[in-house]
Amino acid sequence: MANPLKDPVLDIYRNKSALGWTVLVVSVLIGGASILYTNDLVNKLKNREQRLIDLYAKSLEFAGSESNNSNVSFIVQEIIIPNNSIPVVVTDELGVPIESKNVPSVDGLSGRRKIHQLEEEIKKMEEIYDPILITLRDADEKVLGFNYVYYENSELLTQLQYYPYIQLSVIALFGIIAFIAFNYSKSAEQNRVWVGLAKETAHQLGTPLSSLMAWVEYFKADEKLKDQEIVNELDKDIKRLEMITSRFSNIGSVPQLQTENIFDAVNETINYLQNRISTKVKLEVTAFPNTEIEAGINKPLFDWVIENICKNAVDAMEGVGSITIKILKANEGRVYVDISDTGKGISKSKLSSVFQPGYTTKKRGWGLGLTLVKRIIEKYHSGKIFVKSSELNKGTTFRIVLRDKGSK
């Protein structure tokens, strides 16, 4: 059966990393274009304000030198007074403020306090633009003295400079909120699918399982068949099917965790598998510092995890090799279960996707085994599972992290 999860559209949907990078690149391009366009507007407005200030300074110079009152009145009314946006401070040649315009920080101040505040404003203005020199002359063009015009960007220009960054920040904030909401809804949808699939599977298994149980009881009642090995093996498989049905029933509900001996639990699963996999695969279980290592688990679900990983390992080794399970009691109330195989390994480019739905190296199958394993360990046991190490053509080690019986 072909893998139904290998649809190209689903691959794009599933590959959140590639989708995330695509969105990031597009966002950067849009943001960059916005910043460039706004900066172009800022530069144009800045040039315009500089021309206005030059005109303003020349007007002050002309007004201070011109004896024709009509011309002075025109300059004052049409050029100097209309400047109601660009902050300006005019000083004498010693740097003492003479007058100011559009400087909100000095509103309501007078005397020495106003002069002191204007001097502070002049320091800030000097860091932005060099002052403009005004030469004062009399009617005979004789130099009477000098003034300086200090200025800075208007409030509109300043706001415009920061606008694209504020805009991008708001967009980014909405993007983050949308991303979180999308992930939450996606996770909720996956939960519903998992629960529905599990419950339906448990329901479908019920009818044939009941029939098989009846047949085994019939065989046991037959004097010729009751002691046959095949009847005993059928009885074991039925018990296994009952456990599988119990596993599916536990999906979607809150499983009860019991303190179990992890070494014994793993050994029980391995003993069952040993007679049902290739005889060329060697299974070994060890524990350190001893076999009395306990942790809180739901045994049917935990057995399912061990079984799935081991079956995947057998497929990776193509029926020939060894699987080693090491159980370690770690610090901080943790128990490690390392499952190592001698299979073909996993390439580094695939490590991040091994637990995603649809990931499989087989031509047949759905690729849901490791996804289910991750869900059982992380959602139901509050633990962790990850690829501890993997090397091509040498093997892979999965690590399961559980809490020991004293951990909360």
Residue range 153-171, pLDDT digits in tens: 888 888 887 887 787 788 7
Which parts of the chain sit beneath pLDDT 50? 1, 4-10, 12-13, 68-69, 72-74, 365-366
Query: Measuring CA to CA, how many Å separate 257 from each of 68, 240, 267, 282, 402?
Result: 99, 20, 19, 30, 12
Pair of tokens at residue 175 = 């993007």
The answer to whether 339 touches 396, Cβ cutoff 8 Å, is no
Q: Report which DSSP code applies to 3.
A: -
C-beta separation of 118 from 103 below 8 A: yes
| Contact status, residue 307 vs residue 240, Cβ threshold 8 Å | no
Sorted by sequence, the CB contacts under 8 Å of residue 343 that are 6+ apart come out as 313, 315, 316, 317, 318, 321, 395, 396
Q: Is the pTM of this model over 0.75?
A: no
**What's the pLDDT at 336?**
95
The angle at the Cα of 303, spanning 269 to 265, to the nearest 5 degrees, equals 60
Which pLDDT does position 22 carry in this prediction? 75
